[in-house]
Structure 1
Amino acid sequence: MKIERLGQDKIRIFLTFDDLLERGIQKDDMWREIPKVHELFSEMMDQAYSELGFDANGPLAVEVIAMPAQGMVVIVTRGKINISSDGSQMDEEDADEDMYEMEVTLESSDTIMYSFRDFEDVISAAKQLKASRLTEEGKLYSYHGRWILAFDATSSEAPLQNALIAVLAEYGEATSVTSAVLEEYGKAIMPSDAVRELCNHFSS
């Protein structure tokens, strides 16, 4: 579980599928109201407080984005003021500390994304993907000093996706960056057919 601050009132939590399995939670469970999911959220908020000093009191907007290869990205935004149903501000002692007032949004992403520290690893991954005849597509981005390869998961069947992920995981690592963040803040180096372009430009 990785937690990072996006702003004074916003954090991003990255849960790998291993994080979920360790807690006996399946991917589809995140869409259900079950005790394990509530326990996981409480654990996330405790860790956010201990690592970042992020206090989860008051209303929270929680966005859960399921990603096909990486796991789950949970974005938590804290409200400014705790408002009661009659419109008045609640006192701290009136709020049940064990209860979170949440508005939860659930989304699913169809993009497989892996991050690479070294450009040589990007080239190696691309050559392996082409040699294995897995894909010649993809997009290459530069984001915060890292290289990110992104692939549309809807264009391939599950076994092909798994093989694609296995190659990418050999050279890079799963990233918590979402497609929307990449589009807005990343720089598109190769907006299409990245694997083919990389192999053409850097053939040995």
Structure 2
Amino acid sequence: MNIQKVGPDRLRIQLDPKDLDKYDLDYYSISKESPGTRRLLKEILSEAQKNGFSTQRCKLLLEVLPGKNSGCVIYITKSHCEAMEQHINSNSFRRKGSYVFSCESLEDAISAIGHFADFPDLPIQSSALYCFNNKYYLIFSPVILGLDRDRLAALLAALSEYGSAENCSSVYEAMLEEHGTVIIKTRAIENFIRYFHY
């Protein structure tokens, strides 16, 4: 278990499969209802407190992301007051307008990206393609100004033929940047359309 303080109010915990086995957990079974999760968090917070990370009178936000080799990464963020809690609940850890599309093969990713050419009225502000645990992840951010939500819904439906698309948090994107293999870091959609679709 590797506990790292990444800010005055935030911890990053790297867990390998042995750490999870100790608590009879895996990435999918971590939840607030799980006794193993409660034991794990008790140990994490006990260790963190020795290094000055106090959680007294704080509410905690937990984010769990898949890690390498069947491990996982947990982010723990504490809030001190109602205003901070409202900030968290209003998606402060979500990049507004960012989505992640995941699929099983590069061929599926290329086919899905081809659908963006059918929606020229939805300009893309940024996009990147990663490979992680033998899956492909396309992160993209449409231009928010004047965004047609119905057209965006139609695009997401077209992408679902090849995989799944959902809102993307900044933490999830950071995890892919840190642990995934970069296929194309910037303007992935434009580059793939240019070379694979005519």
TM-score calculated relative to the size of structure 2 = 0.52
Return the alpha-carbon distance in structure 1 between the equivalents of residues 155 and 116 of structure 2.
7
Return the alpha-carbon distance in structure 1 between the equivalents of residues 157 and 174 of structure 2.
24
Q: Deviations over 1:92-115 (max 9, x none)?
A: xxxxxxxxxx93573223321111
Which of 101, 114, 118 aligns to 1:131? It is 118
Aligned length in residues: 138
Q: Deviations over 1:57-101 (max 9, x none)?
A: 364853359xxxxxxxx9465xxxxxxxxxxxxxxxxxxxxxxxx
Cα gap change, 1:165 to 1:113, in 2 (>3 Å): same
Structure 2 equivalent of residue 31 of structure 1: none
Q: Are residue 103 (structure 1) and residue 64 (structure 2) matched?
A: no
Return the alpha-carbon distance in structure 2 between the equivalents of residues 181 and 48 of structure 1.
26
Structure 2 equivalent of residue 57 of structure 1: 42
Are the equivalent residues in 1 in contact too, given 2:123–2:143 (CA < 8 A)? no
Are the equivalent residues in 1 in contact too, given 2:128–2:188 (CA < 8 A)? yes
Structure 1 equivalent of residue 10 of structure 2: none
Return the alpha-carbon distance in structure 1 between the equivalents of residues 176 and 154 of structure 2.
24
Q: Secondary structure at the match of 2:197?
A: coil
Which of 190, 198, 201 aligns to 2:195? It is 201
Are the equivalent residues in 2 in contact too, given 1:63–1:76 (CA < 8 A)? yes
Identity of aligned residues (%): 22
Q: Are residue 191 (structure 1) and residue 185 (structure 2) matched?
A: yes
Cα gap change, 1:129 to 1:48, in 2 (>3 Å): farther
Instruction: Please give the residue correspondences for 1:1-204 in structure 2 after superposition, counting only pairs within 5 Å.
Output: 6-7=14-15, 8=19, 44-47=31-34, 49=36, 55-57=40-42, 59=45, 62-64=61-63, 75=74, 103-104=78-79, 106=88, 107-110=93-96, 111-133=98-120, 134-135=122-123, 138-153=127-142, 155=144, 157=147, 159=149, 160-174=151-165, 178-203=172-197
Structure 2 equivalent of residue 28 of structure 1: none
Are the equivalent residues in 2 in contact too, given 1:129–1:167 (CA < 8 A)? no
Return the alpha-carbon distance in structure 1 between the equivalents of residues 160 and 35 of structure 2.
27
- Structure 2, unaligned stretches of length 5 or more? 1-12, 46-54, 65-72, 80-84
Return the alpha-carbon distance in structure 1 between the equivalents of residues 141 and 26 of structure 2.
23
Return the alpha-carbon distance in structure 2 between the equivalents of residues 181 and 12 of structure 1.
17
Structure 1 equivalent of residue 82 of structure 2: none
Instruction: Please tell me the residue identity of whatever aligns with 1:62.
Output: L
Shift of 1:12: 9.1
TM-score calculated relative to the size of structure 1 = 0.50
